[in-house]
Structure 1
Amino acid sequence: MENAQLVALSRQSILRNHLDVIANNMANINTSGFKSQNLHFSEYIMPVADGSAFEPQDRAISYVDMFTTRTDFTHGPIKMTGNEFDLSLNSDGFFAVQMPDGTEAYTRSGAFRLDSTGQLISADGSPVMTDQGPISFNEQDGRVEIAQDGTISTRLGIRGRIKVVDFEDVRTMEKIGNTMFKAENPIPAQEVRMVQGAVEGSNVYGITEVTRLIEVTRAYDSTSKIVKDLDELRRQAISTLGKIQA
């Protein structure tokens, strides 16, 4: 297969991945705490590719390679819900939740609720962590009030404080779900500003994603045309060579 066609196919492969990322962003435009993603590309130099069959020395051939998927941690808009267990962060930091294996994961999605036992859990059922571990409420607690710093108060008094952590470099966080992340070495978040009865919306902007979708679709169509033209040139070359030999 010709190098030009290989380059075009490598480009098509990455564009398909880019379309998947954009589609996932758009599908989660209304998911609380969702952080949009984007692909960043890099150039891959094929060390043994022959750039020209008519020159004595090879020339480096550049292919398209996917460098990484990066998450945009820009804060989303705060939306009031009136639910006393919904929480949002009007500051940096992440809520901590307990995973089935006992480790912690981190999220900006504060769409919390109580399960059948009265335990505070996240939207996917993971226990929400406080400075003393998971927390449960009962009828004796009455109304639950959560202060700006995360302190939990009920009729029984102070019940603890919602755990909020931060990281020196959020770019090291690994995405493990639509709104969940894994990371090492969490540190206590500074200047926590928590809002009760509200959630943080997705930071996906529909207009931006539609624009990206149009650009990627056009690039994919253009690359497909190149591949088709190369196939037509090869067909004509074979047909012409066949007539000459005949």
Structure 2
Amino acid sequence: MENAQLVALSRQSILRKQLDVVANNMANINTTGFKSDSLHFKEYVMPIASASAFEPQDQDISYVDMFTTRTDFDHGPIKLTNNDFDLALNSDGFFVVEMEDGTQAYTRSGSFLLDNTGQLITADGHPVLTDVGPVTFTQEDGLVEISGDGTISTELGIRGRIQVAEFEDVRALEKIGDTLFKGENPIPAQGVRMVQGAVEASNVYGITEVTRMIEVTRAYDSTSKIVKDLDELRRQAISTLGNFQA
């Protein structure tokens, strides 16, 4: 009976983590460039020798164990904003930004703006990198135009090209924020298609996440009932054994 409760409790623990992931997806349904997450599981089998002294020795005990959190890198829909510094990637790859410690991070969120010095930055304040480093605009630059391959043109001429990096295996990227990722061995993206005056919306689909939330909630309630029923069986067993011995 103890093993049955432990199995149920392990399942409850994972369901709570899964609910946290679904809730975070829903909270970021309107976050530009956000990529949804999901939990993937594996079975953990208790070694027979340690399973139980009261269970048949040829019966394994299986528990639920969290395997990993995976990010869905499917592209989100492109939404026009008519902001000259908003950029959307209509191709694979990531914008490259500079972190506070000088390292690089990667994002699909192209909701950019200028700080008080005229430097192009993300909504979180990280400089956006071009092939010549961060870029700063002045009034003399006038109208800023960014072509499909990321080339920046102003009245002063070409100011560089927006960096876009890609990875051989995007699943190896580590999420370090709602829209930022860390990765190793980036390579220049090929076939870049950039859209000025637009952003990539979140790839979270509300109906899908609501359905997942209902499924997880029902599974959690069902598991809670099992735990409660097992506890009641134990209580009755103790009471019956106590009366028998008396």
Please confirm whether the aligned pair reaches a TM-score higher than 0.5, indicating the same fold.
Answer: yes
After superposition, residues 225-240 of structure 1 pair within 5 angstroms as 225-240=225-240
SS at match of 1:105: strand
Cα drift, residue 46 of structure 1: 1.1
RMSD between superposed Cα atoms in Å: 1.1
AA at the equivalent of 1:50: A
Q: Distance in 2 between matches of 1:169 and 1:207?
A: 29
Deviations 1:135-155 (A, max 9, x none): 100100001000000000000
Q: How does 1:1-246 map to 2 (within 5 A)?
A: 2-47=2-47, 48-50=49-51, 53=54, 55=56, 57=57, 59-246=59-246
Q: Which runs of 5+ in 1 are unaligned?
A: none
In 2, distance between residues paired with 1:200 and 1:50?
51
Distance in 1 between the 2:46 and 2:81 partners? 54
Instruction: Tell me how far apart the structure 1 counterparts of residues 101 and 84 of structure 2 sit (CA, whole Å).
Output: 28
Identity %: 77
Aligned residues: 245
Q: Report the alpha carbon displacement of residue 50 of structure 1 after superposing the two structures with TM.
A: 3.0
Q: Determine the C-alpha separation between the residues in 2 that align with 1:10 and 1:49.
A: 17
Q: Is the contact made by 1:95 and 1:107 (CA closer than 8 Å) also made in structure 2?
A: yes
- TM-score scaled by structure 1? 0.98
Contact 1:51 1:59 in 2 (8 A): no
AA in 2 matched with 1:78: I
TM-score (norm 2): 0.98
Residue 165 of structure 1 aligns to a residue whose secondary structure is strand
**How far off is 1:49 after superposition?**
3.8
User: Could you list the runs of 5+ residues in structure 2 that have no partner in the other structure?
Assistant: none
CA 1:54–1:191 in structure 2 vs 1: closer, same or farther (change >3 Å)?
Answer: closer
Per-residue deviation, residues 195-240 of structure 1 (Å, max 9, x unmatched)? 0000000000000000000000000000000000000000000000
Query: 2:127 & 2:83 partners in 1: Cα distance?
Result: 18
Distance in structure 2 (CA, Å) of the matches to 1:225 and 1:42: 23
Counterpart-to-counterpart distance in 2, 1:85 and 1:3 = 58
